[in-house]
Amino acid sequence: MRQKKYKLIDKRLITEGSQIDFNLFLPNETKSAMSLFLQSDTSVDGNAKVKLREIEMLYVSEEEEAQYNAYVARHLQSIARNDEIPTEQKARLVYEKATEAIDSMFKNPESLENVKNVQPVVNNFIEIILHDSSAVESLMKITAHDYYTHTHSINVSIYTLSLGSFLGISGKDLEVLGMAAILHDLGKSRIDYEIINKNGKLTDEEFAQMKHHPAYGHEIALKLGITDERILTGIRHHHEKMCGGGYPDNLKGDQISQFARIIGTCDVFDALSTKRSYKDPMSSFESLLLMKQQMSDHLDMGMVDAFIRMLRKQVEGKQ
């Protein structure tokens, strides 16, 4: 008979009041075998939580790992609120789940279902960013250093939510801002794969094609039934420039919505601070310095200054 295999899990991720649909195991006293701790299809009551505090190692069988992962995804919001779990671990979990949701969205961007699955991702980010002052720093450590459209979308939404919250945007408005940020490059799903993943700088012809992505994204969002102007303009206008000359509508200054200006700033920051095939990543400090010194025609300097103040506050908060 094949020996059953087990996976060690973090007991803090088992949420009180939840229902588990997998078995939980403990090693027996001699550590020679596993014994059942909590059976599948039971709810984790106060009693079980007290017992959990006393034990050290908790396992699920490898056969039920998928159920366990789905459980963690379902309870991510309460996990994100749990102070007992270290910020780094929460940040990593939320980031991992976000990557899965965004991967599916880019595979089939015109499915309403996939886009709906992105809202909980945004809410989880909001939960840890607002709940924990060191969350942005932890998230910044794990943001992918290689540039891919899906990880870029997540990184931009993290920066956008932190900056938006720093600017005093809250509640439903912050949720809308997060959605606009995570969807901002949705139109890239209609650009040739070779152009999106080219190893090197784009030719003029390729860049001309690439420039269609904000308008494509806007079109897809309309098709999905998104009506909130702040999301629509956030997607369409994230490459507009303060002094004009951006695309697709060649807007200027206040013609560019506040959400598009926030997203545009965070978009540039992530593009500079991640690695590309033709350039090394810049540090956060170097990226912000370049934005401040060389991009006053392009970016809203009020946003760049707020970004700098926000990061400074994080560093000072730690001291």
Residues 6 or more apart whose CB falls under 8 angstroms from that of 206 comprise 195, 198
Nearer to Fe ion among residue 34 and residue 215 (C-beta):
215
Nearer to Fe ion, 132 or 185 (CB): 185
Q: List, in sequence order, every residue forming a beta bridge with 70; answer none if it has no partner.
A: none
Q: How far is the CB of 88 from Fe ion (least distance, A)?
A: 29
- Which positions from 129 to 168 touch Fe ion by CB under 5 A, shown as an x/- string? ----------------------------------------
Shortest distance, position 113 Cβ to Fe ion, whole Å: 24
Compute the least distance from the CB of residue 144 to Fe ion, in Å.
Answer: 16
CA 162 and chain centroid, separation: 11
Q: How far is the CB of 270 from Fe ion (least distance, A)?
A: 10
The number of residues that bind Fe ion (CB under 5 A) is 1
Comparison of 26 and 210: residue with beta carbon closer to Fe ion: 210
Distance CA 306, CA 145 (A): 23
Q: How far apart are the first and last CA of the chain?
A: 57
> For residues 63 and 192, which CB has a smaller minimum distance to Fe ion in the complex?
192
Q: Please give the backbone phi and psi of residue 109, each rounded to the nearest 5 degrees, phi first.
A: -70, -15
E strand or H helix at 162: helix 149-166
When CB distances to Fe ion are compared, the closest residue is: 185
Of 185 and 300, nearer to Fe ion (C-beta) is 185
Token pair for residue 174? 């912050």
Restricted to residues 168-207, the positions that interact with Fe ion (CB under 5 A) are 185
Q: How far is the CB of 187 from Fe ion (least distance, A)?
A: 8
Q: How far is the CB of 231 from Fe ion (least distance, A)?
A: 15
Answer positive or negative: Cα dihedral of 180, 181, 183, 184.
Answer: positive
d(CA 241, CA 92): 34
Q: Closer CB to Fe ion, residue 185 or residue 240?
A: 185
Q: Token pair of 123, please?
A: 């809410």
- Sign of the Cα torsion 107, 113, 116, 122 reads negative
Cβ proximity of 38 and 23 under 8 Å: yes
Q: Can you tell me whether residue 24 is helix, strand or coil?
A: strand
Dig out the tokens for 36 from the structure.
């059942």
44: which 2 tokens? 């984790």
| In the complex, least distance from residue 201 CB atom to Fe ion, rounded to whole angstroms | 16
CB of 299 to Fe ion, least distance (A): 14
CB of 137 or CB of 267, closer to Fe ion: 267
Residues within the interface to Fe ion (CB under 5 A): 185
